[in-house]
Structures are given as C-alpha cells and as structure tokens.
A and B are shown apart, each in its own frame.
Chain A
Amino acid sequence: MAQAVIDPGVTKKRRSVRSIYPTWFYLPAGLLYVVLFAIPTFASFYFAFTRWSLQDVEFTGMQNFITFFSEPQLRTGFINTFIYGFVTSGFKVVLGLALALLLTSQLIARGYLRSVVFFPVLVSAIGVGITFKVLMDPFDGLINSSLATLGITGPAWLTDPQWALFSVALIDVWKGVGIATLIYIAGLAAIPTEYYEAAKVDGAGGWKNFRHITLPLVRPATATVVLLSLIGGLRSFDLIWATTRGGPGFTSDVIASVIYKQYQAGFYGLSTAGNVVLFIVVTAIVIPVSYLLNRREVER
C-alpha cells in the first residue's frame, strides 16, 4: 500500500484493473500509515544498533543485541513467558470447554450466566490486576481470609517466589476464559444433533457422547483457543506489570517486562533492540501459524 502511494505509475495501471476508488482516496490513510507506522518501524531497526539518549545517538553495532542476550533476567524471562503461555492456554481449554458444555445445556438463567462468564473479558487488565492484588494479599486479602475460615492457610500468592507467576496466570485465566467459552459455545452449536440422536439409539451414555462425538468435532474450536491464548500469553505484559512488576526479584519477569524495565531505565537503544528481537520471535511463531490456518481453510 505504501508503494501504491509513492509510485503513481503503478497505481494508474492497477486502478484501471481493479480499484473502483480514485488514488487520492488512499492518500490520507497511506500517509498516516507511513508516518505513524512505517517510519517508526524502520527507524527502530536503526536505533536498535545505537546507544540512544533521545537526543544523542552513537552507533554501537551489535553491542545492544549482545547485551540483551547476556541479560541474566532474559533467561528467566523467556522460560517464564513460555510457562505462562502454556499454563494459561491449558487452563483456558479445559475450563472453557467445561463452561461451554454447562452453558449449552438446558439451564435456568443461561443467558445471565453466559454474560457473567464473559464479563471479565470486558474489564481492563490494569483494573483486574489491582483488584486481585488486593484480593490476593497474603494477610488481609479476601481469598486467604476465606481460606482461613475453612482452616486452610493460603499461600502468599503474588509475593511468594514459588507462586507469583502461577498466581498471575490464574488471574489471566479468570479474565480470559470468557473468550474461550464463547468460542467453544459456537463450536458446540455447530455439531449436528443427528450424531447425538444416533448415539442415543446405539445406547451411548453421557461420557461416551462427550468422548467420541463432542471432543473430536469441537477440535477446530480447541485449535483456535490454543492459538489465541498462546499468542496472548507470549506477549503478556499489562497484567504482570499491574500485579507483580516482574517480582519478587525477577521471579515473574517475562520478555516484555524485561524490555519495559530497560526502557524505564533510559536504555532506549537497548530496549529498542529487545523489541526488534521480540518482533522477530513473534513473527517466527505467527507466520507458520497463519500459514497452517490458511491452508486448512483451503482444504475445507
């Protein structure tokens, strides 16, 4: 598109073939795209190779990338990012499917319950984070107070190094399970009822129905849920920042929070290099994934 704006010769030819709009019609959008997206993106590739104080720029070659990859927190960050991505998508699949099964059955106040499950998706991650920080307070928090009345001593959740990352993942599941449920409800609704009727005639019970009809036929929905929550988990930042800021120490740091801390410290070149790395990593995951998804659509 950027090219279309720059080279009028090409657009003229194209317009005569398929475009029904005049070229200038694209101009405002194209200009915004170039100024706000293309230029900063390419500039960041340059600044990634510099030591940058917003005013002075000094070219340092690959130094930023060497520093970035030798960051001791980065290893924890990478591991945590993947743990977080897999834990959240695993829980979302299991809980999402269970809730979807419940909410597609004949139930009183089904519509109301569906909105209750979906509601957390609409709330901002920062708000959810701050709320849960209060709820998960190890001493005065509602969660541990409730557990205490049952005689259970709850863990320190967000402040225990063993639990911190897992606690944030749990919050993420609470917040995101609504989307998974929604996708599963659509997936379940798409299964023809004939299968169940046939199975009933053959004498299949509830478990057999689920195991041999529902589970295989809801697979496309499962794939979507897994991919969406994996991608979401890999670039997770806001919820972690609102709850633990990567702490205690560095125990719940993910790649994005490591980069943000570098930016906060004024290492603009270094954090730009980190973003270039993150960009490449996400691209390396997203391109094969979107290729797979597109191919499946063609086969259908």
Chain B
Amino acid sequence: MAVHKRRVLAAGFAATALAAVAACSGGGGGSGDGENVEITLLVQTGGTGPAWGEALIAAFNEEHPEITVTMNSQPGGTEGDNLVKTKLATGEMEDVFTYNTGSLLQAINPDQNLVDLSDQEWTDSLIEPFIPVVSTENGLYGAPNGTSQAGGILYNIPMYEELGLEVPTTWADFMANNDAIKAAGHTAIIQTYGDTWTSQLFVLGDFGNVAAQDPDWAEGYTANERRYAEQPALQSFLNQQEAYEGGYFNEDFASALFDDGLRMVATGEGAHYPILSGGVSTISQNYPDNIGDVGFFPLPAQEEDDTRATIWLPNAVYIPSTTEGEELEAAKLLVEFVNSPEGCRLQVELNVPAGPFATSLCELPADVPQATQDLQVWVDNELANPALEFVSPIKGPNLENITVQVGSGISTAEEGAALYDEDVIKQAQQLGLDGW
C-alpha cells in the first residue's frame, strides 16, 4: 500500500513538474535548458530495489524538475545477468541501470558497452578498493550504490550468552562451539540449499583467509597458476564437507530458503548462518525486535593469524554507451545524485547498512545493527580482504551446484574443488584471458 501511494505521489509530482516546465518554456527565451528530458532507470525487482528507485526519482525531481525519469524493473540473479547482456547487445538498455561490480561487470564488456565516468567529480571520493571493481584499463564506469557487506557468519547472540560461548577466531574453536551447541540440542549451522546461491558461502566467504595466506592467490588464479583443488583454497571446500559430516545442519537444509535461514538465526532456531551480512537488512524488516540478537564474525581460518573478514563491495549504477546527447547529461546528473547527501540517506533508509560505504561522500548513521558494528571492527583493524569476485574476473557458473553437492554429501570436497577448477576454464576462455 505504501508503495502504491508513493507511486501515485511520484507520478503526480512528475505531472506538476511537467506543467511547470511547459509554462516556463512557453514564456522563456527558449535556450533549450528548460526543455524536458526523459530518461529511464532500471532497478532489480525483489528486496527493496523498486521502492528505492521510486524514492530516488522523487527526490531527484525536487532538484531537477526538468528531467523526467521513468523506472523499469527486472529480476536479478543469473536471469538478470542474461537480460542485461541481451539489452546491451541490442541497444535496449535503460539510460541508468544498477548492476554488480567486479567479475560480473567484466563479463558485460564495459569498454564497449558503458560510458566512461572517470571525468566525474564524485570519482575522487571513492575508497581505494572500490576503484578497480568498476574499472578497466580504459575507464571507470560505475558509481557505488549501497554499502559494502561481508560474507561470513551471522550468529545468534542470546544463544552464545546462554551457553557461555566466545566468538571463535580459529576453525577448531568454531567446531568446538558447534559441538557445544549441538550437545545443547540446538541447530549449530543453518544451511538453505532451497536457494542454491546461499550454499557458496563456505567457499566464497573463506577467500579473505586464502588471500591472507597467499596474497598473490587471486592474481595467480587469473593467470591459471592457482587451483581450488590445492591448498590453501581447498580448505574452503573441506570446511563445508566437515560441517556436513558433523551433522550440525538444520533438518530441512536441502529445501529451506534464504528467508528461512534469516528467521532461524534471528529468532534463535539456529546458531550460525554462513551468509552475506546484507541479510541484516531483511532481518530488520521481518524481525525488527531481533535485530540486536544477530552478530557477525568472519569464517575462521585454521590459524588465528590468517582469519580475515571477506568483503563484498557494493553494486553500482552505470550508463550504457547507447545513451547520448542531453539524455546522457541527464543520466550523469542522476548517477551523481545517487551519492548526494539526499541520495546517501535514501540508500540506508530502505536498506539497513550491512557495512561501510564505498565513498567518502556518504556516512553511516549512528544506529547501525550489531552485525554491522561487529564487521566494522574487522575493517577498522585492517583485517579484511575483498572477495575473489572483486579481484579476479573468473567465477565459474556452476559453483552453487557444486557446493550443494559437497554440502549434501553427494560428492567429497576434493571432487567438488576439481569440478570447480574445470568449470572456470569455460569462463576464462569466454573472457579471452591469457594462459587458458
């Protein structure tokens, strides 16, 4: 209902703006500046995407009534990747669109398809690790939208207090906690393979630890010199196998969904949920009373010294190269507006921040959730590494199926890792990388 009301408001506002502009150009000098420009904005359905888009357009129109923005939406995930590629190839892409950064951005060929934004003023305020994930050798293409998050473990704080447990920093401590939780009759680890992507966290969320042990791993991986079937990376798969074999998972792990997992960790039905910390945003909407009960710690490495938080950088907004002329100017204004003070406020109004911003233009509000505060400690202590997809363009499409197999006991960790090494070859060849 609230969304509908907002849409009506936005439409009404746009109509008023239009009338005002028409009146202006009727009596004005006809310089062209007052002309109405129409552009389109593409957001992803599901979650808060459409609500954010509408709020952004309404706020943007207060500053720029001469620009009419129409919002379109499409699904995310692999289906969305496909739509984005097809739209770009056929020249049908909206004038401003939100999309992933890192390896998925590289896969849509930014040099050919996107407008270089490196001459924009806001680029000076980007944090260092964000620049490469929206750039190629030839340009910088995206402005951050939303906050960073981490891949690690969301845990139920009341259960930790009840059992007198401490936050683990080594894998052995973590397993000891799991045993204690299991012995007390609770679900130690929540898995939700009904949404297959959630099965990848044991591997993807462990990359910060891999990079701590071998800082050149990502570079070597891109050059076909590192393998998941070898240590230290193999450990990520071994961890998942060990967790399955320990019998720590919730009974319905094979069919449960992402939302179920968040409910379980928020309400204490389970203790540990390896997931992206962005999940706190959903928890704050569905279980606002429990948001203080959820904390965060990184997936522990074997050795305490190697344990790092694995950071996912935010998505970005882009302009396709098919947008030209005054539409392009208008699109650049909208992109800039995303990280204006009002734009920053909208980013955290609908999505509870799960980590730090990627630009110094935005600041976190004071009352962030407990999990975000926990993560901030790791970032402040410089014990954080970006996830693999932000430092290497290679990501095999079948990882989520492979990790479901390892996490359900269908295949062993070694088999899964070897299968994934096979899987990425296709991706590397499709990208035309050297050495593959």
Contacts and interface: CB of A to CB of B under 8 A. Distances in A.
Interface of A: 51, 53-56, 58, 67, 72-73, 137-139, 156, 158-161, 245-251, 261-267, 270
Given A247-B404, A249-B405, A261 B252 contact: no
B227 to A, nearest CB: 16
Contacts of B79: 264
Given A138-B255, A160-B254, A54 B426 contact: no
Interface in B392-410: 397-398, 401-402, 404-405, 408, 410
Contacts of B401: 246-247, 249-250
Nearest to A138: B255
Nearest to A139: B252
B89 interface: yes
A55 B320 CA distance: 15
A249 B109 contact: no
B427 interface: yes
Contact of B109 (A55, A138, A139): A55
B430 A266 contact: yes
Contacts of B78: 264-265
Q: Tell me what chain B mostly uses at the interface: helix, strand, loop, or mixed.
A: helix
15 contacts: A51-B432, A53-B430, A137-B255, A161-B408, A161-B410, A246-B401, A247-B193, A248-B408, A248-B410, A251-B410, A261-B397, A262-B426, A266-B82, A267-B426, A267-B430
Interface in B170-197: 193-194, 196
Contacts, number: 84
B85 A54 contact: yes
B342 interface: no
Contact of A264 (B193, B397, B429, B432): B397
B251 interface: yes
B10 interface: no
B112 interface: yes
A275 to B, nearest CB: 16
B81 A266 contact: yes
Nearest to A67: B426
A138 B254 contact: yes
Given A248-B193, A248-B410, 19 more contacts: A56-B109, A72-B419, A138-B254, A139-B251, A161-B410, A246-B401, A249-B404, A250-B405, A261-B397, A261-B398, A263-B82, A264-B78, A264-B79, A264-B82, A266-B81, A266-B82, A266-B85, A266-B107, A267-B426
Contacts of B123: none
Contacts of A56: 109
Contacts of B193: 159, 247-248
B86 interface: yes
B284 interface: no
Contacts of B419: 72
B411 interface: yes
Interface in B80-123: 81-82, 85-86, 89, 107, 109, 112-113
B422 interface: yes
Interface in B405-436: 405, 408, 410-411, 419, 422, 426-427, 429-430, 432
A199 to B, nearest CB: 53
B410 A72 contact: no
A60 B421 CA distance: 21
Contacts of A156: 254-255
Q: For the complex of A and B, list the 5 residue pairs with the smallest distance between their C-beta atoms, beginning with the closest.
A: A265-B397, A249-B405, A159-B254, A54-B89, A159-B255
Interface residues of B, number: 34
B426 A270 contact: yes
Contacts of A58: 432
B405 A248 contact: yes
A58 B107 CA distance: 16
Nearest to B251: A139
Contacts of B429: 51
A247 B194 CA distance: 10
Nearest to A245: B196
Interface in B13-47: none
Contacts of A161: 408, 410
B263 to A, nearest CB: 14
Nearest to B78: A264
A246 to B, nearest CB: 7
B89 A55 contact: yes
A257 to B, nearest CB: 11
A297 B89 CA distance: 50
A160 B193 CA distance: 12
Nearest to A68: B426
Given A55-B89, A261-B398, A266-B85, A249 B408 contact: yes
Contacts of B422: 72
A248 B107 contact: no
Question: Residue among B196, B410, B426 with the most chain A CB within 10 A?
Answer: B426
A270 B430 CA distance: 10
A247 B112 contact: no
A249 B402 contact: yes
A77 B398 CA distance: 15
Contacts of A264: 78-79, 81-82, 397
A51 B89 contact: no
Nearest to A52: B430
B203 to A, nearest CB: 14
A53 B254 CA distance: 34
Interface in B102-160: 107, 109, 112-113
Given A55-B109, A156-B254, A251-B410, A265 B405 contact: no
Contacts of A72: 419, 422
A248 B404 contact: yes
Interface centre among B89, B254, B432 (most CB of A within 10 A): B254
A237 to B, nearest CB: 15
Contacts of B408: 161, 248-249
Contacts of A159: 193-194, 254-255
Interface in B255-296: 255
A262 B86 CA distance: 15
B194 to A, nearest CB: 8
B152 to A, nearest CB: 24
B82 to A, nearest CB: 6
